Amino acid sequence: MMKRWMVVFMVLCMTLFLWGCGKSNNAGGETSVLDGGAGESATELSYWTFVELHGQHFEKMLGKWNTENPDRQIKLNVTVMPYDDMHNKLSIAVQSGTGAPDIADIELGKFPDFLAGTPQLEPLNDVIDPYRDTIVKSRIDLYSKEDVNYGIPTHVGASVAFYNTEILEEAGVNYQDIVTWEDFKQAGIQVYEKTGKYMGTADTSAAWQASMLLAQQGADLTDDAGKPIVNSEPMVKAMTLLKDLQDSHVIATIAGGQPDTEEAYGEFNAGNYATAFMPLWQMSRYTNYMSDLSGKIAIAPIPVIEEGMPRSVGGGGTGTVVTKTAKDVQLAKDFLAFAKLSLDANKEIWNTLGFDPVNMDVWDMKDVTHNAENQFVKYFVNNPFDVLNEIRDEIRLIKSTSASPTINNVLCTTTFNEIFEDGKDITEALNDAQKQIEQELK
Amino acid sequence: MIKKFLYSQKVAPYVFVLPFILVFLVFWVFPLGSSFSMSFQKTQLGQEADWVGLANYGKLMGDGIFLKAVTNSAIYMVLTLLILIPFPMLFAVLINNKFMWGREFFKSSFFFPALTSVVVAGTIFRLMFGEMEGSLINSILGWFGIDPVKFLKGQVTGFIALVALATWRWTGVNMLYFLSGLKNIPGEYYEAASIDGASAFQKFTKITMPLLKPTTIYVLTISIYAGLAMFIESMMLWNGNNSPKNIGLTIVGYLYRQGIEKNNLGYAAAVGIVLLAITMIINLTQLKLSGMFKKED
């Protein structure tokens, strides 16, 4: 009796297991078709992304496109896949010339890999040209090779500080008084003594903080020729500063390794860390994943080493591309420019995604930026654009070169862990990183 | 004509093995050959390949990360051999014992983990071994007053998680191999030994272990291969191929990183050939030493 029951159970398990294997569809991700009110004759374009929210933005813009272009209507087939997975599949698909989508999002950190050799992406200069004067040039340059533009940017990604005012008030700290890192350190010591909580994070799996500190010193991770210089003096200075903060219990490592991870959302939501230094798009992470902090988070410029240094750096980014194998290249390009570069698109990028749009004119449109109905305006203590406009001329850039993916990989898997988790000597860790990067780029 | 052909004693066997031979040639010999030639090229998908001679292998020699990957795979293999051969053998003997209570229950519950997908299991283990206070393992440690451990950030603790996952998943499979081996040992041997006054331990070492040797060698061979070729477990446990300080990077993980993530297929092919060489050397030595190449007596 027992045996028969077991056999049935086993068979059931096997079936479930096999069913699980067979269920996956074309690219293995979650697929949904957006029709945006398109008619029967609409062209179906496929779009891959690694951020579910990006699809929401396209959905809005698709409706507008289909109304304005009744003879060139589009249905968008959106596939969302995890970050690594999507980039790996896309890389193989575009290089081998089969299976690639018409439109795809490529994250800045992976973009140089797609520009290696002869890029298998469509040049977008002609559709960018009409908008070129309205958008931040450096954001387009990120996705370009030899003056050919291959990707359309999504945001500026200005880095800011997100302060948890509840914790700071408990410790008697006013975030508006924090100007330099020394101020931040003193405030942090006070917070740790009064509340036992950490002022901020020591990031081990992302280079946001390193980029900010390098940009303040006018330095970069690569030299003018694009060669890695991760053991430069400014980098040693940046790491020494962070390490000192860690030793004073001002910052501490966080589960997940940096603020933009699932584990860290939980830590922040539970009020264990008071500050995150992140690009502005981290706002959408707060509204989506840290609902307990609503009404408690204030946005401010990042502290500087010395007063007068630039207070922000563009961080992260997504370049949307059209592949060489797209069904209707011109249609895809026109739609992309419309959906990401037009004035309407830039307003929606703020409304839907909470990103700082690349058309900086939008930053001055009070009716858009200070709309009391906007979920981001409601969530945060102060209006992000008040801060953005204050630092708008101070937003620096860390170059993206063909060495960047390797640099990021080494720093974010090995070096930062060695420094902040193992307490390895900073100069030694950075020298090792430089050696490793050079070896890998050989 | 066809009938004559099929009934021919000379031809028929070949017809029957043809499907296997074809699959073997197309999906095994051909890829192996092309990997071999690719390992002497600098090649990227969709672009012309250049012959670079031994440059890829030369680069491998000085590649610290590759060395790290080889070390990781080797340690993982040794640890899994140390755990996944003696313990399943012991469990198989216990379960094979007629006086054992709940044999079928234990048999199926040991085997059950093998049916779950590695992806699910890896994800669950990642959460269990999370570094937060509330993760399963850390809350258990908390009961004994031990501070939370950042399991997946340290070399030793990371391997504890990795080997725990492997043990949980493969104990049952290896146990089944041993069970089937045990079924082939005639009961008379044990009866005779009992009459001669042998203890249970003597019976285990003098009858069970020698007669299980073919099974043990088989399990050893596939475990060596599986240990060196491990990839998904590590990928799932660290939620990607980039573990902190590469503590979980395996040889296949490095092959994947170079070939798929960095589109450097020539270099990845060289990694693959080295892996093949290592596996072959270890396994052939092991088979030779255990006398598997000797003619049957």
pLDDT on residue A61: 94
CB A73 within 8 A of CB A41: yes
Which residue has tokens 């924090």? A178
pLDDT on residue A407: 95
- Mean pLDDT, rounded, of chain A: 90
Between residues 58 and 97 of chain B, which touch chain A (CB distance below 8 Å)? 59, 62-65
CB B85 within 8 A of CB B171: no
Does A207 reach chain B within 8 Å, measured CB to CB?
Answer: no
Alpha carbon distance B11, B15 (integer Å): 6
Q: What are the phi and psi torsion angles at A200 (to 5°)?
A: -155, -170
Does A6 reach chain B within 8 Å, measured CB to CB?
Answer: yes
Q: How far is CA A270 from CA A122, A164, A273, A274, in A?
A: 45, 11, 8, 10
Nearest to B45 by CA among B262, B275, B272: B262
pLDDT on residue A9: 55
Give A4's pLDDT tier (boundaries 50, 70, 90): low
CB B60 within 8 A of CB B274: yes
Strands A159-164 and A297-300 turn out to be antiparallel
CB contact under 8 A, A413 and B246: yes
* Nearest CB to B246 within list A88, A414, A421: A414
Same domain flag for A75 and A210: no
Does B242 reach chain A within 8 Å, measured CB to CB?
Answer: yes
Per-residue HEC secondary structure of B201-270 comes to HHHHHHHHHHHCHHHHHHHHHHHHHHHHCCCHHHHHHCCCCCCHHHCCCCHHHHHHHHHHHCCCHHHHHH
Side-chain-side CA neighbours of residue A84 (13 Å): 13
Side-chain-side CA neighbours of residue A251 (13 Å): 26
What residues contact A307, with CB distance under 8 A and at least 6 apart? A179, A180
Query: How is residue A217 annotated by DSSP?
Result: T
Alpha carbon distance B166, B82 (integer Å): 12
Is A21 contained in some domain?
no
Alpha carbon distance A442, A439 (integer Å): 5
- Separate counts of helices (H) and strands (E) for chain B: 17, 2
What residues contact B113, with CB distance under 8 A and at least 6 apart? B121, B168, B169, B171, B172
Q: How far is CA A192 from CA A182, A263, B27, B131, in A?
A: 15, 22, 61, 21
CB contact under 8 A, A118 and B47: yes
Alpha carbon distance B204, B185 (integer Å): 12
- A35-58: average pLDDT: 88
Same domain flag for A190 and A272: yes
Does A413 reach chain B within 8 Å, measured CB to CB?
Answer: yes
pLDDT of A18 > 50? The answer is no
CB A129 within 8 A of CB A341: no
Cα A254 from chain centroid (whole Å): 18
Is A19 contained in some domain?
no
Is A2 contained in some domain?
no
Alpha carbon distance B123, B130 (integer Å): 10
Alpha carbon distance B110, B89 (integer Å): 13
Same domain flag for A371 and A400: no
Render A285-327 in DSSP notation, one character per residue: HHHHH-GGGTTTEEEEPPPBSSTTS--EEB---EEEEEBTT-S
> Which positions of chain B have pLDDT values less than 50?
none
Of A329, A348, A377, the one marking the end of a domain is A377
pLDDT on residue A30: 77
Which residues on B lie below 8 Å from A121 (Cβ)?
none
CB contact under 8 A, B44 and A116: yes
Same domain flag for A55 and A124: yes
Which residue has tokens 């990707």? A151
Residue of A nearest to B260 (CA): A88
Which residues on A lie below 8 Å from B112 (Cβ)?
13
For A171-199, give one letter per residue: b (16+ CB within 10 A) or e. Answer: bebebeebeebeebbbbbbbbbeebebbb
Which residues on B lie below 8 Å from A92 (Cβ)?
45, 260
Is A288 contained in some domain?
yes
CB A249 within 8 A of CB A189: yes
Same domain flag for A185 and A275: yes
Q: How far is CA B11 from CA A144, B1, B22, B24, in A?
A: 62, 13, 16, 19
Same domain flag for A45 and A176: no
Query: Can you give the residue range of the structural domain that contains A286?
Result: 159-314+394-441
Same domain flag for A324 and A292: no
Alpha carbon distance A251, A209 (integer Å): 12
CB contact under 8 A, A414 and B115: no
CB A303 within 8 A of CB A183: yes
Render A367-401 in DSSP notation, one character per residue: HHHT-TT-HHHHHSSS-HHHHHHHHGGGEE-----
Which residues on B lie below 8 Å from A266 (Cβ)?
132
pLDDT on residue A52: 85
* Nearest CB to A88 within list B116, B153, B260: B260
Q: What's the number of domains chain A is made of?
A: 2
- Extract the tokens encoding B48: 């012309």
List A44's β-bridge partners, or say none.
A75
Query: How is residue A3 annotated by DSSP?
Result: H
Determine which of A2, A106, A414 to mutate to test the interface with B (most B C-beta atoms within 10 Å): A414
List B160's β-bridge partners, or say none.
none
CB A389 within 8 A of CB A415: no
Nearest to B239 by CA among B132, B73, B119, B136: B119
Which residues on A lie below 8 Å from B64 (Cβ)?
436, 439
Determine which of A440, A441, A442 to mutate to test the interface with B (most B C-beta atoms within 10 Å): A440
CB contact under 8 A, A17 and B44: no
Is A98 contained in some domain?
yes
CB A280 within 8 A of CB A387: no
Does A92 reach chain B within 8 Å, measured CB to CB?
Answer: yes
What is the amino acid identity at position B68?
A: K
List A318's β-bridge partners, or say none.
A107
Q: Is the Cα torsion angle A29, A32, A33, A36 positive or negative in sign?
A: negative
Does B1 reach chain A within 8 Å, measured CB to CB?
Answer: no
Which residues on B lie below 8 Å from A2 (Cβ)?
104
- 3-state DSSP assignment of residue A419: helix
CATH code of the domain containing A127: 3.40.190.10
Which residues on A lie below 8 Å from B108 (Cβ)?
6, 9-10
- pLDDT tens digits along A231-246: 999 999 999 999 999 9
Is A199 contained in some domain?
yes
- A299-320: average pLDDT: 94
CB B278 within 8 A of CB B267: no
pLDDT on residue A113: 87
- Separate counts of helices (H) and strands (E) for chain A: 20, 14
Same domain flag for A295 and A414: yes
CB A299 within 8 A of CB A305: no
CB contact under 8 A, A436 and B44: no
3-state helix, strand, coil in chain A (%, to 5): 50, 15, 35
Domain coordinates of chain B in residue numbers?
A: 1-38, 54-289
- pLDDT tens digits along A131-170: 999 998 889 999 999 899 999 999 999 999 999 999 999 9
- 3-state DSSP assignment of residue B49: coil
pLDDT on residue A28: 60
- A251-264: average pLDDT: 92
- Extract the tokens encoding A144: 């370009």
Alpha carbon distance A96, B43 (integer Å): 12
In this prediction, what percent of chain A has a pLDDT beyond 70? 94
For A35-54, give one letter per residue: b (16+ CB within 10 A) or e. Answer: bbebeeebbebbbbbbbebb
Alpha carbon distance B261, B100 (integer Å): 51
- Pairs of residues, one from chain A and one from chain B, whose beta carbons lie less than 8 Å apart: 81
Render A46-92 in DSSP notation, one character per residue: EEEES-HHHHHHHHHHHHHHHHH-GGG-EEEEEEE--HHHHHHHHHH
Which residue has tokens 């003619």? B295
Min Cα separation B53/chain A (Å): 15
pLDDT on residue A442: 80
DSSP E strands: which ranges in B35-104? 41-42, 50-51
pLDDT of A23 > 50? The answer is no
pTM: 0.84
Four-way CATH pick for B54-289: 3.40.50.720, 3.30.565.10, 1.10.3720.10, 1.10.10.10 = 1.10.3720.10
pLDDT on residue A7: 54
Does B288 reach chain A within 8 Å, measured CB to CB?
Answer: no
Alpha carbon distance B25, B92 (integer Å): 37
CB contact under 8 A, A96 and B45: yes
pLDDT on residue A25: 39
Give A26's pLDDT tier (boundaries 50, 70, 90): very low
Same domain flag for A289 and A348: no
pLDDT on residue A408: 92
Same domain flag for A304 and A338: no
- pLDDT tens digits along A84-93: 889 999 998 9
CB contact under 8 A, A92 and B47: no
Same domain flag for A169 and A243: yes
pLDDT of A95 > 90? The answer is no
Alpha carbon distance A346, A338 (integer Å): 10
Alpha carbon distance A267, A290 (integer Å): 9
Does A204 reach chain B within 8 Å, measured CB to CB?
Answer: yes
Q: How far is CA B191 from CA A75, A356, B182, B196, B197, in A?
A: 77, 82, 15, 9, 10
Same domain flag for A310 and A320: no
* Nearest CB to A409 within list B47, B242, B245: B242
In this prediction, what percent of chain A has a pLDDT beyond 90? 77
